[in-house]
Each structure stands twice: as structure tokens, then as C-alpha cells.
Amino acid sequence: MYFLTILYNQSGFKIENGKITFSHRYNKTSLSFNIPQQLENYNLKHAEIFNSEPYKGKGDFFVSVVYETFPQTNYKDNEKYQAIDLGITKTITAVNTDGKILEITNPRFDKYWDKKINHAKSRRDHCKKYSRRWFRINDAIRVMTKKKNNQIKDWQHKLSRKMVENTRSNTIIVGDLDVKDMINSKKLPKSRQKSLNRSTQNNGYISRFIEFLTYKSEFLGKQLTKIDESYTSKICYVCGKVHDMPLYKRNLSCDCGNEIDRDRNSAINIMVRYLSQNAIWTGYRRFAYNLRQTGLLTFDVYKIHPMDEINTRRNLHA
């Protein structure tokens, strides 16, 4: 098999009994795949078959279908809000208007796989190019890269779903990517720059995560709003003083006595910014009151440890 993407419109395929069957055949093989049964309930717009690595058809074959869904409930502002700081690498930190903090540690599948992949790459580069051994190692690298990406995506699907389902807030606010910090990082020592370059890859993961959060929110009648997050990690949320906060500084400590984890400070500032920009003053006062109740320096912290139940993504082999 040797093709890129084949697109089918509504007359090109049919779905019944949990199977999608395409109108044309490959040689004499009919193209038919198992799909989740619930897809029969949706209005399918089109379907396509594609290969994850089309060169010589070496990758896996996937079937993707585009369908219409409708939100189960409409969004209604229930005066509960959750602000999320997506961090750069390690953690996702959220705070709600009750003053409760949620911290999720990123499992760093990328770190785990990158180590193996880089090791394999250096072994491959010591071989004669295009020799049998070279191809064998190269194939292994391709498989590992695919596994890495699948695991990250799968984790993001699960986590975004969990976060949207578990919050009682109907309005979820995320800080948009902080590009400024990335530029400032040029002043960092070389070793730090290197680790940061690796995490620019994470920006891609973060924007995909925001996409997942957005459509999962919509489906549950919630709403995701993006706001500009510049300076949210630099401003002391207690007194407003601006600090120099290069990425490696994990804590903000201020003359006013505020000593706080960088990402928590950032999440609180995102909330404050959203509430004040939208003149939600009752929410703002409630938030400030609840923060005081939970104590400025001590928080209720809920930690999720994520290494459980990660399955690799289901794929359809042609």
C-alpha cells in the first residue's frame, strides 16, 4: 500500500454495526474497519484514511471521521470560576473561587522517551548509513517516537476530561502561552537554555491541551476562556510588586511576606485578572475572602498522581 490520504464524502462510506465500510476496494480487499458504535448516532460529515508515516506506507493506518455534535447543555454562568496555569513543563496548577488549589504533576513521558530515543539515535549514527542495522535502529526510533506522542496525547485527553468533569465551575480560564518568558530565556546560562529549547516542544502540547479543554468544556455546558497571561508569574498577587522571575526560579518571595510557588501565584493572578477585566466584583470579593480564609501562605492542596491507567491509543491497522 502506498498512499497518503484518501478523503471520502458522505456517499463514499457507510456505517453500520460498529463498522465503517468504504465504497471502493484496494485490489480485491474491501476496506472495512471497526469503529466505536456510538458514532452511528452522529451526523457524519466525511471520513478519511491516512497513514501516520506515508513514506512507503510504513506507519499505521488510521481512519478519521468528522461528525457534528451538540452540547448536552448550554453554558450558564454559575458564578463559580476556575483559573488554570498551564506551566511550562512540570505542573498544571489551578485555583477556584473557593480558594482551593489543584496541582497536577505532568508525568513527562517526553523525558522518559527522549532519553531512549537519543540513545538510539547516537547508536544509529555510528552505523553505516542505510545499512541493515541502520534501518533496524531507525525503525525502532520511529516506533518509540510514535509511542511517546500517543502517550502524551492520551494523557492529555484523560486529564482534560477529568479536569472539566471534576470542577463545579462552569467558567474555566486559562492563561495563554507566555511568549515573553521564552524570549527572556536567551539570557539564561547555556545548560538552562538547552533544557528550555526542549520544552518549546511543550508549547505545542500546551496549545493542544487547551484545545481539548475547550471542546470538552463545551460539551458539558461549560466555557473556556483564554486570557493574556503576561506578568502573571511576575506580579506578587498580595501586593502587586513586579519581580524578576526567570524560569528556573520556582518560588516568588516578596518583601510583603508573600512566599509562594511560582505557578500558584500565576494561577491566582490569572483569576484576579479575569474577574477584574470582566468586572465580576462579587466573585472577586469572594475569591479574595476565601484566599484569606485558606490562609495567604497555606492552601488546601489536592494532588493527583497521574501514572495510573495510561493506555496507548487505539489504532486501526489496515
Task: Write out the residues near Zn ion by the rule CB under 5 A.
Answer: 236, 238-239, 241, 254, 256, 258
Closest approach of Cβ 90 to Zn ion, in Å? 24
Closest approach of Cβ 84 to Zn ion, in Å? 23
Give whole-number Cα distances, 310 to 17, 147, 164, 239, in Å: 28, 12, 18, 42
Closest approach of Cβ 239 to Zn ion, in Å? 3
235-85-91-96 Cα dihedral, nearest 10 degrees: 100
Closest approach of Cβ 100 to Zn ion, in Å? 22
Closest approach of Cβ 257 to Zn ion, in Å? 7
Q: What is the largest CA-CA distance in the chain?
A: 76
What would the grid cell of residue 97 be? 473561587
What would the grid cell of residue 122 be? 547516537
By C-beta, is 236 or 245 nearer to Zn ion?
236
CB-based burial, 161-191: b 16+ in 10 Å, e otherwise: eebbeebebbbbbbbebbeebbeebeeeeee
Instruction: DSSP letter for 64, please.
Output: E
State how far the Cα of 232 lies from the Cα of 265, in Å rounded to an integer. 7
- Non-local (6+) Cβ contacts of 13 within 8 A are 20, 21, 22, 23, 47
By C-beta, is 44 or 267 nearer to Zn ion?
267
By C-beta, is 84 or 238 nearer to Zn ion?
238
By C-beta, is 238 or 270 nearer to Zn ion?
238
By C-beta, is 179 or 239 nearer to Zn ion?
239
By C-beta, is 104 or 270 nearer to Zn ion?
270
Instruction: DSSP letter for 53, please.
Output: S
Closest approach of Cβ 275 to Zn ion, in Å? 19
